[in-house]
């Protein structure tokens, strides 16, 4: 007898698991979702006539299998006016999307849209690049005194890193210093993921944020 399957959450992972189980022949697949809409933090909501992607996530994978799977479900739409091949880049990884692979139109429903990435944090009435990029723009917006505090905190963390690195809080402090962590990363991360950095494993940071540090930024 084929067992019944219960999936918690109708985000991309839950929906993907449900579809793959159905394709594999599992007849009893149920997905439970706490809200009245599917998509998780990848869904688009309509707020006073404005469509907002609440998660702001981009989709990119270096796995051809994963990319092909999603293109089978959601065809890629070529940018309006675009022609020829398209180069996609994310987190240092690149992928060439041939003209034959992006045949849908942007006006079509249920398609993947190609967009340029621009991530910024609005703080103290100013927009900052995310991840933070050291330079004169940061000094001008934050002021030299605060930047010196950040630099001192970073050097202290580099001289005496937290070991072993157990939490995401440790991960950020070791790479940016305690002051920058408190200023930019602590509240932002908890707002996005709903969990304090001290309750998230450092392994998560290594997977999601790769080799990010104030030096690499």
Mean pLDDT of 42-69: 79
Same domain? 144 vs 198: yes
Are β-strands 120-123 and 126-129 bridged in parallel, bridged antiparallel, or unpaired?
antiparallel
Same domain? 155 vs 193: yes
- Count of structural domains, the chain: 3
Q: Is the pLDDT score of 63 beyond 90?
A: no
Expressed as residue numbers, the domain containing 18 is: 5-53
Whole-number Å distance between alpha carbons of 79 and 99: 11
Is 130 within a domain?
yes
Same domain? 27 vs 102: no
Whole-number Å distance between alpha carbons of 192 and 215: 24
The mean pLDDT of the chain is 83
Block residue for tokens 């932002």: 188
Is 59 within a domain?
no
**What's the confidence (pLDDT) of residue 209?**
64
**What's the confidence (pLDDT) of residue 57?**
65
Same domain? 155 vs 180: yes
Is 180 within a domain?
yes
Is 72 within a domain?
yes
Same domain? 47 vs 107: no
Are β-strands 44-47 and 50-53 bridged in parallel, bridged antiparallel, or unpaired?
antiparallel
Question: Per residue in 136-186, pLDDT tens?
Answer: 888 888 888 988 998 999 999 999 999 999 999 999 999 989 998 998 889
Same domain? 157 vs 183: yes
Question: Per residue in 80-102, pLDDT tens?
Answer: 666 667 777 766 677 777 666 77
Is 217 within a domain?
no
Q: Is the pLDDT score of 62 beyond 60?
A: yes
**What's the confidence (pLDDT) of residue 74?**
85
Is 216 within a domain?
no
Give the rounded percent of residues in the chain with a pLDDT score beyond 90: 29
């Amino acid at each position: 007898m084929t067992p019944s399957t219960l999936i918690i959450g109708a985000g991309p992972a839950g929906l993907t698991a449900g579809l793959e189980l159905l394709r594999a022949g599992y007849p009893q697949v149920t997905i439970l979702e706490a809200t009245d809409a599917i998509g998780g933090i990848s869904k688009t909501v309509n707020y006073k006539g404005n469509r907002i992607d609440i998660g702001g996530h981009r989709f990119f994978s270096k796995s051809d299998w994963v990319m092909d799977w999603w293109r089978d479900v959601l065809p890629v739409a070529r940018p309006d006016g675009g022609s020829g091949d398209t180069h996609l880049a994310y987190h240092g990884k690149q992928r060439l999307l041939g003209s034959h692979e992006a045949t849908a139109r942007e006006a079509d429903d249920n398609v993947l849209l190609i967009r340029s990435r621009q991530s910024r944090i609005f703080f103290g009435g100013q927009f900052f690049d995310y991840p933070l990029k050291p330079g004169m723009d940061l000094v001008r917006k934050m002021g030299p005194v605060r930047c010196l505090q950040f630099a001192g905190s970073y050097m202290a963390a580099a001289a005496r890193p937290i070991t072993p690195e157990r939490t995401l809080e440790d991960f950020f402090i070791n790479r940016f210093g305690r002051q920058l962590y408190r200023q930019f990363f602590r509240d932002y991360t908890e707002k996005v993921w709903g969990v304090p950095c001290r309750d998230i494993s450092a392994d998560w940071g290594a997977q999601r944020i790769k080799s990010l540090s104030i030096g690499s930024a």
